[in-house]
């Protein structure tokens, strides 16, 4: 019995490992770029990655992405990565949002999960959107979820979101500098 | 271009007039309409009220094609994120409404007047609240710049407006109201119906509008206190999908994600100093992960 349990655990562990590897995002450098110790321009440089170096994405952090390249872990600028289109957008598969809570991962890693789900919600077809007829009860329901200004402000405070002042002009002119 | 404004003005005037007098003096209503047309012609756009009505009608139709997601917490959450972000746009006081539809198709839509629809297929592929904020800010930017209204005006045919006028007039004469009429104005429903048959939800906007919405989205999300790179991360996620034949998806109505990222790169140095603002991964996962 104990032996069986052990085998089961090993199998589960291996599955988890392979799933994790499978779910990892693959990317390529889109120019020659530096692999940094931290996500900061002034951080030490671990290596210079030539254009088209294959990397595995570990995590994102604002303008920098942590990757593993040639056995080294470090950070590269978010815009210096190119993501190849490899995932299917199967509209006939998918297991609903609850599939997100899988122990194996979350978020975009589930894009692979959706391909193995058997039941799911049908995707929206162009015909659906051309032949749509109004459902005013659904509209009323949608409107009942509306957030007013005070609710939105409370929600922002809970998330420690602090508004900042930045103008479109400032943003655009900054780009020309 | 002028015709939509003319018809809107005509309808805006003749519906209340007919309602007020319970009356069927069509000639009189049209005369009033003609005067209003001239006034409206000068501004060459739908009034904000008409825009909201049309947005309601389009949303009702959209929800007729794709069901609202059943999770109330999820709907409230997306509305809070969206409203907070919209408060930092140039049209903070529109009756903003954000609806999650239950479909695998990856897309988000903006209606005139402040209604935004996002698919659960897109939501479950996002990783944080700052990514969601970036996506919603893009749609909010379309509303703020009235991109859909501009697109409608340039795609509509002359005889199309004629038919709306007569349909609404006969509607009123016949005294037909119904449940739909109480919630969404008949002119808006008629207009929305014709727009939808014409492929309104499937037609891409100009590329320049998409790039403009992306740039504005970065500023709006940053102002709201979110990490400015949320939209970039969401676009990198989209870039990993092969666009398919599903014409109702983001892949057929938007420029390729890789090109959008390339456009954004030019503008990002200005907001890099805000890159320490929160991403709120935990709160996002909690709500979206719990949604059935």
Residues B121 and B172 grouped into a single domain? no
The residue among B241 and A2 whose pLDDT is bigger is B241
- Is the per-residue pLDDT at B2 higher than 70? no
The answer to whether residue A18 scores a pLDDT higher than 80 is no
- The residue segments making up the domain with residue B237 are 48-147+202-291
Q: Is residue B249 part of a domain?
A: yes
Residue B173: predicted pLDDT:
34
Look at the pTM and tell me if it is higher than 0.90: no
pLDDT tens by residue, A47-99: 999 999 999 999 988 899 999 999 999 999 999 999 988 877 654 444 446 44
Residues whose CB falls within 8 Å of the CB of residue B197, separated by 6 or more in sequence, listed in order: A130
Distance in Å, alpha carbon of A32 to nearest chain B alpha carbon? 16
> What per-residue confidence (pLDDT) applies to A176?
55
CA–CA dist B74, B77 (Å, integer)? 5
Closest approach of B28 to chain A, Cα-based (Å) = 31
At residue B100 the predicted structure's pLDDT band, cuts being 50, 70 and 90, is: very high
Do B104 and B173 lie in one domain? The reply is no
pLDDT tens-digit readout, B113-126: 999 999 999 999 99
Distance of residue B214 Cα from the nearest chain A Cα, in angstroms: 12
Same domain, B221 and B210: yes
> Do residue B158 and residue B97 come from a single domain?
no
CB contact under 8 A, A142 and B63: yes
Candidates B60, B258, B290; nearest CB to A139: B60
In percent, how much of chain B has pLDDT > 70?
74
Domain boundary among B124, B158, B185: B185
Q: Would you say residue B196 lies in a domain?
A: no
Among B246, B248, B225, B197, residue whose Cα is nearest residue B85:
B225
B80 to chain A, any CB pair closer than 8 A? The answer is: yes
Contact: B196, A132; criterion CB under 8 Å: yes
Q: Minimal Cα distance from A148: which residue of B? A: B83
Nearest CA in chain B to A141: B68
Structure confidence at residue B256 (pLDDT)? 87
Q: Is B191 part of a structural domain of the chain? A: no
What pLDDT sits at residue B5? 54
**B273 and B214 both lie in a single domain:** yes
- pLDDT value, residue B151: 87
Residue B254 domain-assigned (yes or no): yes
Top-confidence residue, B15 or B281: B281
Is the pLDDT score of B169 beyond 60? no
B173 and B219 both lie in a single domain:
no
- Are residues B169 and B126 part of one domain? no
Of A138, A160, A164, the CB nearest to B223: A164
Condensed to tens digits (0 to 9), the pLDDT of residues A94-106 reads: 444 644 433 333 3
- Report chain A residues whose CB lies below 8 A from the CB of B233: 60, 78
Which residues of chain B neighbour A75 with C-beta distances below 8 Å?
A: none
The H or E element spanning position B192 is helix B186-197
Q: Are residues B35 and B52 in the same domain?
A: no
B19-33, B40-54, B91-105, B225-239 — which is least confidently predicted? B19-33
Q: Which of A40, A43, A104, A107 has the most B C-beta neighbours within 10 Å, making it the best mutation to test the interface with B?
A: A107
Cβ distance A141 to B67 less than 8 Å, yes or no, reads: no
In a domain, B83, yes or no: yes
Whether pLDDT at B14 is above 80: no
Q: Is residue B197 in a domain?
A: no
Q: Band of the pLDDT at B41, cuts 50, 70, 90? A: very low
The answer to whether the Cβ–Cβ distance between A145 and B261 falls below 8 Å is no
Write out chain A in H/E/C secondary structure: CHHHHHHHHHHHHHHHHHHHHHHCCEEEECCCEEEECCCCCCCCEEEEECCCCEEEEEEEECCEEEEEECCEEEEEEHHHEECCCCECCCCCCCCCHHHHHCCCCCHHHHHHHHCCCCCCCCCCCHHHHHCCCCCHHHHHHHHHCCCCHHHHHHHHHHCCCCCCCCCHHHHHHHHHC
Q: Which residues, numbered 76 to 135 in chain A, qualify as contacts with chain B under a Cβ-Cβ cut-off of 8 Å?
A: 78-79, 81-94, 96-101, 106-108, 110-111, 114, 120-126, 128-135
Cβ pair A164:B197 closer than 8 A: no
Domain assignment present for residue B190? The answer is: no
- Residue B222: closest C-alpha in chain A: A164
Chain-chain contact of B240 with A108 (C-beta, under 8 angstroms)? yes
With beta carbons under 8 A apart, name residues in chain B contacting A131: 65
Residue B138, sorted as left (phi over 0), alpha (psi -120 to 50) or beta, turns out to be alpha
Residue of chain B with shortest Cα separation from A100: B289
Specify whether B122 is located in the same domain as B235.
yes
CB contact under 8 Å between A126 and B202, yes or no, is yes
How does residue B161 score in pLDDT terms, banded at 50, 70 and 90? very low
pLDDT recorded at residue A95: 46
How many structural domains does chain B have? 2
Same domain, B36 and B131: no
Q: Does A147 touch chain B (CB under 8 A)?
A: yes
Give B208-246 pLDDT, tens digit per residue. Answer: 999 999 999 999 999 999 999 999 999 999 998 876 555
Q: pLDDT, tens digit, for every residue of A97-144?
A: 644 433 333 334 333 333 322 233 457 888 888 888 899 999 999 999
**What was the pLDDT predicted at B56?**
95
**Confidence (pLDDT) at B174:** 32
Confidence check: pLDDT of B145 > 60: yes
Nearest to B289 among A101, A141, A167 (CB): A101
CA A89-B135-B257 angle, 5° bins: 50
Residues B106 and B173 grouped into a single domain: no
Task: Determine the residue of chain A that is closest to B200 in CA distance.
Answer: A130
pLDDT score recorded for residue B62 = 93
Supply the ipTM of this predicted assembly: 0.77
pLDDT at A30 over 60: yes
Which residue does chain B place closest to A77, by CA atoms? B265
Cβ of B19 under 8 Å from any chain A Cβ? no
Best B55, B64, B269, B287 member to test A by mutation, with max A CBs in 10 Å, is B64
B9 lies in the same domain as B127: no
When mean pLDDT is compared across A20-29, A117-126, B100-109, B167-176, the lowest value belongs to: B167-176
Residue B195 lies in a domain: no
At residue B163, the pLDDT reads: 40
Q: How high is the pLDDT of residue B89?
A: 97
Minimal CA separation from A110 to chain B, in Å: 7
- What is chain A's length? 177
Comparing CB atoms, the residue among A107, A134, A147 nearest residue B57 is A134
Query: Contacts of residue B291 in chain A, CB cutoff 8 Å?
Result: 96-98
Would you state the pLDDT for residue B63?
95
Chain A residues with CB inside 8 Å of B181's CB? none
Are the beta carbons of B12 and B50 closer than 8 angstroms? yes
């Amino acid at each position: 019995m104990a032996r069986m349990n052990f085998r089961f655990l090993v199998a589960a562990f291996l599955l988890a490992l392979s799933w994790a590897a499978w779910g990892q995002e693959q990317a390529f450098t889109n120019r020659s770029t530096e692999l940094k110790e931290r996500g900061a321009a002034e951080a030490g440089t671990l290596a210079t990655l030539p254009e088209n170096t294959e990397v595995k994405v570990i995590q994102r952090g604002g303008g920098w992405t942590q990757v593993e390249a040639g056995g080294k872990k470090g950070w590269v600028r978010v815009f210096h990565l190119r993501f190849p289109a490899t995932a299917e957008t199967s509209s006939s598969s998918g297991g609903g949002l609850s599939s997100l809570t899988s122990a194996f991962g979350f978020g975009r890693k589930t894009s692979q999960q959706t391909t193995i789900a058997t039941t799911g919600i049908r995707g929206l077809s162009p015909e659906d959107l051309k032949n749509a007829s109004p459902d005013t009860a659904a509209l009323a329901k949608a409107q009942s979820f509306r957030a007013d200004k005070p609710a939105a402000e409370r929600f922002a405070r809970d998330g420690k979101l602090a508004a900042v002042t930045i103008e479109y002009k400032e943003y655009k002119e900054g780009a020309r500098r | 271009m002028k015709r939509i404004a003319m018809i809107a003005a005509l309808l805006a005037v003749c519906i209340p007039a007919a309602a007020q007098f319970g009356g069927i003096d069509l000639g009189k209503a049209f005369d009033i309409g003609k005067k209003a047309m001239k006034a409206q012609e000068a501004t060459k756009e739908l009034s904000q009220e008409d825009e909201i009505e049309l947005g309601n009608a389009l949303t009702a139709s959209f929800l007729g094609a794709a069901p609202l997601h059943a999770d109330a917490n999820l709907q409230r959450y997306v509305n809070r994120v969206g409203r907070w972000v919209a408060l930092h746009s140039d049209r903070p006081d529109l009756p903003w409404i954000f609806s999650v539809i239950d479909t695998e198709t990856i897309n988000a839509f903006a209606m005139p007047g402040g209604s935004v629809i996002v698919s659960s297929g897109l939501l479950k592929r996002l990783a944080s609240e700052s990514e969601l904020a970036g996506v919603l800010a893009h749609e909010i930017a379309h509303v703020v710049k009235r991109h859909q209204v501009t697109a409608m005006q340039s795609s509509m045919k002359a005889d199309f407006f004629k038919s709306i006028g007569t349909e609404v007039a006969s509607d009123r004469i016949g005294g037909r109201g119904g449940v739909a009429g109480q919630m969404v104005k008949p002119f808006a429903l008629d207009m929305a119906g014709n727009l939808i048959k014409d492929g309104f939800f499937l037609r891409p906007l100009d590329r320049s509008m998409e790039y403009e919405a992306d740039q504005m989205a970065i500023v709006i999300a940053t102002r709201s206190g979110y990490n400015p790179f949320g939209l970039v991360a969401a676009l990198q996620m989209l870039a990993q999908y092969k666009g398919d034949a599903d014409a109702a998806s983001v892949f057929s109505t938007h420029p390729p994600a890789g090109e959008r990222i390339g456009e954004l790169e030019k503008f990002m140095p200005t907001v890099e100093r805000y890159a320490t603002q929160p991403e709120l991964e935990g709160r996002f996962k909690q709500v979206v992960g719990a949604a059935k």
